[in-house]
Chains A and B, each alone.
Chain A
Amino acid sequence: MEVEKISGLKFHKKQDVAIVGAGMTTFKRRLNETGRELSYLAIKQALEEAGITIDDVEMVVMGSAPDTFDGLHMKSEYLLDGSGGSDRPYMRVFVGGGTGVFAPIAGYWHVASGLADVCLVITEEKMSSSYPHPQSAFKYIWDPILDRPLSPNLIWIFALEMRRYMHVHNIKHEDIALVSVKNKANALDHPCAQVAEKITVEDVLNSEPMALPVRRLDVSPPSDGAAALIMVAPHIARQLTDNPVWVTGVGWALDTTWWTNRDLYFPRYVAEAAKMAYRMAHITDPRKEIDVAEPYDPFDYKELHHMEGLGLAKKGEAPILTREGVTQRDGDLPTCPSGGLLGVGNPIAATMGVKACEIYWQLAYRAGKRQVAKEVTTGVCQAWGDLMQVGTVMVMSNKR
């Protein structure tokens, strides 16, 4: 089956887009704060880092995943006042789990189109509101007629995809478990982390089975949290900082609803999204030109899967790179230096804090203890969502 190419893009934007500040809350299984209070706390941090006040913000982009978590229909409206949306143009974008990177992409077009010079991007998730378990909310992502009568659990799709990936490339679970080990250890340096710990491959392989091949420690935990990002036009960035981080490429793609009609071993939706972003960023050889990466890692195999989709590894090569230590924080291609979703937590949309925000901090050399060893100029972050359908990719650089 042939996938048609994205055509006609000239990228004749009005102005460049810089990131000048980011902030996030701690990610925890359950927080007392309401969603809007969490948003407020994250925004405060981002405004402080950028050195601006809420009055300087012209437009707000909200990213938040299913309404069924927070338990609110139209939840962007509910979150509005704590999200800085009061008395401003305010819009929520939503591509399922991919929202974590899609929200800053939407922030990008708010600024690049010239409609806003200062745009606040806020992502929030309060998964703990959903009882008996946050996973219960995922019952309703399935097709109501063809899938829901089979009483599916969300983990199923991952297990099915993971099995296919392992089968096609003949990958052992041991190699996949290394990702979980790496990310949970990386997260020890993240003050917001929920499940940072030193574990071994054996711990992963012996953890409780959920939907085999997926076991407990292959999975990131549900969390509450929020993250914010400030995106500005060049003339504003110049006033605020000497070294802003530029958004050089964005891309997103949504694959067919009929996920059972596709071969799941390769995330072509990520590949298409990456192709768009790389073309915009003039990247021809991502493996060489990308210095640090934050692929989406809600499950350990997903990091590998997405590295291949992003062109950071050849098909089936990501587990080998991981085994050789290339993806460690001091490796040649540091991957998920933040600790990712596996270590820091997975408040669906608010994972922007460990994806887009982390790449910003890495490229601005502000990541503190998490700063990668090598010199960095270009980084990529990516998220994924829906029924294994969405790829969202953003490329950033500290050189314009």
Chain B
Amino acid sequence: MVAIVGVGYSGFNSTTPDLSWKEIMYEAALRAYTDAGINPRRDVDSFVTCAEDIYEGFAIFDEFVPDQLGAVVKPTCTVCADFLYGVATAYMQIKSGLADIAVVESHSKASDIQTFGNVVKFAMDPIWLRNIGNAHPYYLAALEMFQYMAQRCLSEEDVARVVVKNKNNALLNPSAPYAANVTIDDVMASPKLFDPMKKMEIAPLADGCVVFVLASDEVARELTDSPVWVKGVGWWSETYGYDTASFSAMYTYKAAKMAYRMAGIENPAKEVDFAEVDDRFAFKELQHLETLQLAGKFEVARLMAEGYFDKDGSLPVNVSGGNLGVGNLLECTGGQKALEVVLQLRGEAGRRQLSDVEIGVAQAWRYLPTHSGAVAVFGV
């Protein structure tokens, strides 16, 4: 078993004009090490950072990682993926005996990016897709949303309810810059930028950093009396091309299957107490809930309307406010999800604390234009 023995974060804010990317990493890392009660220069065997170069504005971001994590001349690497992939990497390193204590870091300095649309476009296939038309690549999500709504017979209100739930949940989270007391009418009145997708259904960008300290069974018990265990972790890629993609988040289905098998969970809808899922586009939350098998294919929207996924519902989802409330944290998205799950499991979530929670799921997608994602199951 692998445990989380320390967490730290910095943010989350819409901009961070006072701190460089190095300094937000330092702030978050220092808090995580203090939380775990370790000295990174002495105790940590491996450092993993999750970053994509073009989000950062460097050709090789890995260069700029070690100092602020306390990782100078120590095993340190970059995983070009979401934070949860980093958790998987640390998990494997600990399981293979390469590390007893491993640190995972991920951050977003989205406010440094001046042309976000072009950055996403830069990830699109240059030969077959990138230069068609002039629109913002959000249209790719809109196409997927269109098909998903058609297949699941969803109304626009069904999707709008996700925004209402998450932005209101975020009001109880002091680190959620996009919290708002919106109603379904507000969302429905928000302009349709990419039919059928509305402005409010797109998560705006945010800055922040999350650092986790993971440890092997033995070491974790030495460090803390109440570790949070990584019960299972899974990551999966479906395909790259839109011609072969399922348009129904199969990547999450497969990643969840892998994570649940590892965690020994047979009936996720019953066994999972709460979840933090990727909602960088509102419809994605519905899609991800379905593929995480937390609700039946055609039930998700009905349950959402009935309040099943509310913070006082049977299976609270995105109590933190999700990306719609906290913001799009790029590769740190999974970090914010995992952080919320750990805080809830430890009982440290403040006014949004859920009662009697033992198993939580964090899930993240690799954002446009990909069909990859990861899932982690945490428990106490």
Contacts and interface: CB of A to CB of B under 8 A. Distances in A.
A contacts B directly in the complex (CB < 8 Å)? Answer: yes
A256 B43 contact: no
Nearest to B86: A91
Interface in B27-51: 41-43, 45, 47
B135 interface: no
A9 B101 CA distance: 9
A255 interface: yes
Contacts of B58: 140-141, 144
A74 B370 contact: yes
Interface string B56-83: 0111101111110001111111111100
A387 interface: yes
B154 to A, nearest CB: 26
Nearest to A70: B126
Interface in B77-129: 77-81, 85, 88-89, 91-101, 119-120, 122-123, 125-127
B67 A141 contact: no
B74 to A, nearest CB: 6
B264 interface: no
A387 B96 CA distance: 29
Nearest to A154: B59
A76 B96 contact: no
Given A8-B43, A74-B366, A90-B237, A102 B60 contact: no
Contacts of B74: 4, 6, 253-254, 272
B63 A11 contact: no
A187 to B, nearest CB: 27
Interface string A66-83: 111001111011111100
Interface residues of B, number: 68
Contact of B75 (A87, A139, A254): A254
Interface of B: 41-43, 45, 47, 52-55, 57-60, 62-67, 71-81, 85, 88-89, 91-101, 119-120, 122-123, 125-127, 219, 234-241, 244, 254-255, 258, 366, 369-370, 372
A73 B124 CA distance: 8
A72 B126 contact: yes
6 contacts: A72-B123, A77-B369, A91-B89, A140-B58, A141-B59, A254-B72
A114 to B, nearest CB: 6
Nearest to A271: B73
A150 interface: no
Contacts of A108: 96
A73 B54 contact: yes
A256 B67 contact: yes
Interface of A: 3-4, 6-14, 34, 65-68, 71-74, 76-81, 85-96, 102, 106, 108-115, 137-141, 143-144, 250-258, 268-269, 272-273, 276, 385-387, 389-390
Contacts of A77: 123, 237, 240, 366, 369-370, 372
Nearest to A86: B239
A256 B71 CA distance: 8
Contact of B236 (A89, A112, A254, A256): A89
Nearest to A80: B240
A78 B120 CA distance: 13
A2 to B, nearest CB: 10
Contact of A254 (B73, B91, B244): B73
B239 A80 contact: yes
B79 A95 contact: no
A250 B98 contact: yes
Nearest to B78: A94
Nearest to B93: A109
Contacts of A6: 45, 74-75
B100 A9 contact: yes
A94 B77 contact: yes
A322 B96 CA distance: 37
Contacts of A89: 234-237, 255, 258
B304 to A, nearest CB: 29
A9 B99 contact: yes
A179 B58 CA distance: 32
